[in-house]
């Protein structure tokens, strides 16, 4: 059975969206935005914003609970939406779509839909249609997207971006090939004095970062994420100040299509040293880079931001 004439978008428009708008309006107000600005960002009337802000958010939480959305998740999602709306309407639409299709794919919206339309008691269309997009890959995509936003919001991070730009990679559970690693297509680049992701994260988006990460995971399976940043004397000092354990590579195989990862593979085969970072010392046509590793995308980005602050201060 498919959508029939009773699609889940009815619930989106009548219940889910108003509740989420209520919480997002409260979030935007907490950022110091005026009702007029909130109205403009959300695409609703100022009267609606006024109503949201003067009403008890408990009702919104109650509505969202019918979609199996906990208060903690509602707070997290409304915060992401508020942040993305400030960045631009396209970001907000993308985040809202991921949240909604995630609910559909998980089956969380099915009980309410079936309550509205008992004839859909045997319907599993949304789980089949969107469920394949959920699970570990979708969760890691969301994780990398959130981590990239932290970089974009940082005024210091641009100072540690190498000329080859930056990427964040995060492995899905059981990852064994680049197709199992999520990264940013086109990398993260400089735009008007800030870091900006070129495109939303995707699985298989960076063969190079994927190979570096997968090699590191052979030695330390608990590592799931990596990021590359500038490496120079100031960064070496920042590493020491932060207490980050680094291992250097630089013996590049001749004729290699990916000299950094090939050099790393050689190094790991000949050394048993532990590490939280890999220093690519560079060479002819190869810019020095520092590869940082952690247990998740947000954790590795937070490490990069700590180093960026130490770098800026040093």
pLDDT above 70: residue 264: yes
Q: Per-residue confidence at 132, pLDDT binned at 50, 70, 90?
A: low
Which of 20, 4, 16 has the alpha carbon at shortest distance from 126?
A: 4
Among the residue ranges 107-116, 122-131, 271-280, the one predicted with the least confidence is 122-131
> In the structure encoding, which two tokens stand for residue 155, read together?
């005024």
* Residue finishing a domain among 134, 164, 184: 134
Looking at the fold, whether 152 and 121 belong to one and the same domain comes out as no
Q: Which residue, 221, 188, 226, is CA-closest to 208?
A: 226
Q: Among 195, 120, 147, which Cα is nearest to 292's?
A: 147
Q: Which residue has the higher pLDDT, 138 or 135?
A: 138
Residue pLDDT, tens place only, 293-311: 999 999 999 999 999 999 9
- 1 domain residue, yes or no: no
Is residue 43 left, alpha or beta, with left meaning phi > 0 and alpha meaning psi from -120 to 50? left
Torsion of CA 202, 205, 207, 209, to 10 degrees: -70
pLDDT at residue 135, as a whole number: 56
Residues 123 and 157 in one domain: no
Judgement on whether residues 161 and 304 belong to the same structural domain of the protein: yes
74 and 123 together in one domain? yes
Of the candidates 46, 155, 141, 44, which has an alpha carbon nearest to the alpha carbon of residue 101? 141
State the Cα–Cα distance between residues 85 and 90, nearest whole angstrom.
8
Q: Judge whether 139 lies within some domain.
A: no
Q: Specify whether 81 is located in the same domain as 201.
A: no
Judge whether residue 133 has pLDDT over 70.
no
Please give the Cα distance from 45 to 116 (Å, whole number).
Answer: 28
Q: Could you tell me which residue, 209 or 3, shows the higher pLDDT? A: 209
pLDDT at 2: 44
Name which of 40-44, 82-86, 193-197 the model is least confident about. 82-86
Is 175 found in the same domain as 304?
Answer: yes
Domain contains 4: no
**Residues 94 and 183 reside in one and the same domain:** no
Arithmetic mean of pLDDT over the chain: 89
Does pLDDT of 183 surpass 90? yes
Q: Which domain holds residue 285?
A: 144-313
Same domain, 108 and 157: no
Q: Which of 40-49, 82-91, 139-148 has the lowest mean pLDDT?
A: 82-91
Domain end, chosen from 72, 105, 134, is at 134
Residue matched to tokens 């969380």: 108
Q: Are residues 95 and 170 in the same domain?
A: no
283 versus 37: the higher-pLDDT residue is: 37
200 shares its domain with 149: yes
Instruction: Give the residue from 107, 134, 161 where a domain finishes.
Output: 134
Mean pLDDT on 3-21: 87
Q: Taking a C-beta distance cutoff of 8 angstroms, is the pair 105, 133 a contact?
A: yes
Domain contains 2: no
Quote the percentage of the chain above a pLDDT of 70.
96
């Amino acid at each position: 059975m498919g959508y029939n004439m009773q699609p889940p978008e009815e619930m989106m428009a009548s219940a889910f969206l108003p509740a989420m708008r209520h919480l997002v309006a409260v979030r935007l107000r907490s950022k110091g935005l005026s009702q007029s600005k909130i109205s403009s960002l959300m695409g609703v009337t100022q009267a609606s914003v006024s109503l949201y802000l003067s009403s008890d958010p408990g009702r919104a939480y109650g509505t969202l609970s019918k979609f199996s959305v906990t208060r903690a998740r509602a707070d997290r999602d409304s915060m992401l939406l508020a942040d993305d709306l400030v960045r631009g309407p396209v970001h907000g639409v993308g985040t809202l779509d991921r949240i909604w299709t995630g609910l559909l794919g998980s089956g969380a919206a099915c009980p309410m839909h079936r309550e509205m339309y008992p004839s859909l008691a045997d319907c599993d269309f949304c789980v089949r249609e969107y469920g394949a997009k959920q699970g570990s890959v979708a969760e890691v995509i969301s994780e990398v997207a959130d981590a990239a936003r932290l970089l974009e919001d940082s005024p210091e991070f641009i100072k540690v971006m190498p000329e080859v730009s930056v990427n964040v990679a995060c492995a899905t559970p059981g990852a064994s090939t680049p197709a199992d690693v999520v990264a940013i297509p086109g990398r993260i680049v400089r735009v008007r004095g800030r870091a900006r992701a070129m495109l939303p994260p995707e699985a298989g988006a960076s063969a190079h970062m994927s190979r570096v990460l997968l090699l590191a995971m052979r030695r330390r399976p608990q590592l799931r994420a990596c990021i590359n940043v500038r490496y120079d004397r100031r960064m070496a000092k920042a590493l020491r100040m932060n207490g980050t354990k680094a291992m250097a590579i630089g013996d590049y195989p001749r004729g290699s299509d990916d000299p950094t990862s090939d050099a790393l593979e050689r190094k790991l085969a000949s050394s048993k040293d532990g590490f939280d970072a890999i220093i690519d010392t560079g060479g002819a046509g190869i810019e020095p880079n520092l590869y940082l590793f952690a247990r998740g995308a947000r954790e590795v980005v937070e490490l990069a931001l700590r180093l960026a602050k130490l770098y800026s201060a040093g």
